[in-house]
Structure 1
Amino acid sequence: MLSDPDIERAASQLADYRTNNALPDILDKYSALLEGYRRLKSDYEEERDAREKYKQMARGQERNPFVLVLVDGDGYVFHESLLSKGADGGSHAAQLLHESIKASLQLKGLEHCQVMVRIYANLAGLSKTLHKVGLAGTERRSLAPFVASFNRSYGLAEFVDAGDLKENADFKLRAMMNLWAENTQCKHIYFAACHDVGYISDLVPYMGNYGRFTLINTPGVKFHDEFTKLDLGIEELPGVFRAASGGAPTWSLGDQAPTRTDGQKAVCRFHSSGRCKYGKACKNLHIEDATNSKATWRSTTNDPQSAAGGSLQEPRRRTPPLFNMRSDVATDFMNGYSAHATSLLAGLDVLALPKKGNIPEGQVAVNKNGFRLDPYIPPSGLEILSRLKAHISRQRVCNNFHLNGFCEAGDHCGYDHGPLEEGFKQALESLARSMPCGKRGACRNAACTCGHVCQNGDCKHRGGNGYCKLSPQSHSEELAVARYVPATNDPPHNRQSSSARASTAASTTDEDDVPTMTTRAALGEEEEQGISSRKSSGKLIELDSIKSTMST
């Protein structure tokens, strides 16, 4: 049996154990740890689910990327060469617009994106305006066949009639831009409404967002200076919208003579040139030339007798300027015979040219007259032109090597055979095709890099301002392929020999101190009168012709 001291010692130990027992604390901490773990697990599962949903959403947004092309159709009017074709012109307009945007996307690294086009316009008002210049019929919505063909040609292209009320097109355009501007599936927006400063406030939030917005400029309308302050990309789409001569007088639709109706007299074609032999006895109307025509229309409007007799009257309401025209084409329209201008435009359907991949190897394409046809070259933008000029200012390039894959001079060639940036080859081919081939349509050399037919969208022969070196026959031939004929291995027939071409350069420059651009393609025809030229080892090419050619 324990002694009393042992009992006291045991009791003291028991008291100490009860005082220092940590097990309850350990159990409480363990319980709290389990509760914290449960909360962390719940948060983790929620975060994991949210992450998975985000990944699925991101995959969905990247699945169908697209770019949006917004066009105010009341200000940006399609080219006459397209409008004059009626329903067929609608499909060609959609195709040309689509190819121009695709060419621009290649430079932005967005060639994988689809192109969604939305054009909004007052169709009735636009039809009426274009009817006055002979580009539309007399019906209230005479452009309807053109629009229907445009909409059928490409699933994501829509030409929408916004209605007759004022600002309807503006309202629709703003709504579409605000809807897609922050959408991640929409990778880029091309904005073609820079004739109206009312859109400035809508674009201000995106100022400086060069990678998101591109403004479309066209010489046919005034590009307001306020848009340049937005620090956004600016590009042109040559050949798509109406382009006007920079130096030609502006022709406003509100100042022109209205077209005649069935009850009015025809316009005498010979009076303006002083060749009408009937004088006042002529049964047709005698209209003054373009410089005096406005006064003539106003005088006939104020004359009740002339108005009753069916003479031309000024419209009741002045229509805002829609586009400019070259003075010679405008004169044709005002003298009542627009067929001359439209026939030239209709014959220059470059979209009918064969695609390079469709031409069989060892053959060349010809039309029904046996005239040599070049492969279609998609238009190149001004951005690629600037980069190409900068490249050539450092090192001149060899056309034969880059376009045909070989060079007769080989290692002795004085021009660059190094790789070109993406897009340069297409622009270089456009430049080479602006040089006429000496054999013209009779050329059968598949390796010939010179031009046989005109593909310049701003060519002076189709109402533009670009200088073109190709012969008149190159502008009048049909561009539809009739057949493919065997090619020859003859050297290109220019006015220089092969050895001369290997050592001869044609340089390009302009007034703005543009870097020299050298091409080994030789010129086949002399410069036209009035064009600055100079002869040395090559010939001087006007920069305007290069710009218009390379952007076509």
Structure 2
Amino acid sequence: MAASLDSTLSIFRQRCAALNRYQDDHQLLLNDMMKHCEMLESTLQTQTDTLQHELFNCRLDLDDARNSRRNLQQQVQATEARIQQLIKENDAHQNRHPYAAVLIDGDGLLFREDFVNDGMEGGKRAAQALRDAVAGRCGNLPSKVEIVVKVCANLSGLATAMRNAGSISSENLFKQFTLGFTQAKASFDFIDVGFGKERADSKIREDARWHLNNVNCQMVLLGISHDSGYAPFLDELSNDRETRERLRILEGSPTVRELVTTGLEIVNFNDAVFRSDKMQVDRISSAAAAAAAAVANRMNGGGIGRKSPVHGNTTNGTTRSEETKEKPASPSSPAAKSPTTPAVTSYAAATNAAPPAAPPPAMKFPTATTKSLQAKAAAAASAAAALVEKNKPSWSPGDRGFDPPVTYNPIAIESVKKRRGPDKFCNVYVIAGSCPKDYCEYNHKLKITPDEKKALMFLMRQSPCTYGQDCTMEGCIYGHNCPSVREGQCMQPFCRFPSSLHPPKTKFKQPYFGDD
């Protein structure tokens, strides 16, 4: 029995030991779980704090974005309102003083004879008739549109040609007509451009460009239907659609083919103001023709043929100016025998030809003296030609010409190039004295030495001006011709100047980007 009790106690001891081990394992498990939970809680708390901070920043960013969007919306609304205001002001400026410009080549577009023969009163009636006719063509333009008229002509030549053709009885009558035309309206002018065909042409071209660049000009009528020489000018203007819509050709005599092909609208007042026919050249008086023939014979007295501009006056009006050869006059030629042979073949040529001068008295020299004078004249001509060649101006890049040279110190060049960030000069401020930017990233307060300023001027000359030789800014700091050409070669390997701003036949280092 004692043995049985010992066995039972041993079993209880074993079970107690097992229970103790289980309790120890349970406690250890609980401890490990608590540690893990504490560590996990710490990690989650850290992440939570991070997320809360990021959420706070996001809310700040959202509020800032919302405020920025609202400010931007307000600025956009203010800008749109300002744009609308500017559009209204621009429309008001354009419509405040609208006008139509009428530019007439008076040597070819002739007023009706009844106007001219009425002298001053006829000029006033012609001005009124022209104004009424132009106003009727203004279409939807405001009723207060002003009409500006400029007639360019060689008054003395045209008056003589019309008198010789029998259109008027005296030159003074035509002068009175032009005075009446000019006095009729404050904006009407009859301008005397003197002898020479291109004088009227150049004035009309420049005036047309000026008016077409004026926003108040609603329409430009060019009285040039008789002259094909205006065709290239009209083609140039027709490239711009807005300009083309405001341009018209005013027709008297039938428009020449070259102007018809430009496609511009042709306005004809149906004989209300201008003559539809051309002045007959065979009505030029014999006295004037004889005088012109005498001048031609004196000019060709040496038997040497020359080319003389003859203004054609064909019925289809396809040409106004041609080059024809004149044969040398001789005692047996018809031109020498007949005093009525005309040297000028049209009234336009008579209009633009200089009045004949009285012939100088004939002088006779001995043969030896004549040869000596001829030799001296030849020597003088040769010396004059050599002097002209010696003093012949060098190549010019264009109307603006060369930029003034800048002397610089190479050390100052390197000093300027090394400046970075806040130590970098504002080029425009240093050279021009003012900066156009509202906010400039460069320094305006740095002190600059004279050598550094010259170096900066030289460096800026290396950059080509956007407008090149067309630049009109007197104080432009950029280059208008390449300053790196030495003995026929451009020394700048990455030159940005176009080839037109280099002397002809300039050799370039590679690569060359100027004409990109």
What TM-score, normalized by structure 1, do the two folds share? 0.41
Where is the helix percentage greater, Structure 1 or Structure 2? 2
TM-score normalised by L of structure 2 = 0.44
Which is higher, the Rg of structure 1 or of structure 2? Answer: 2
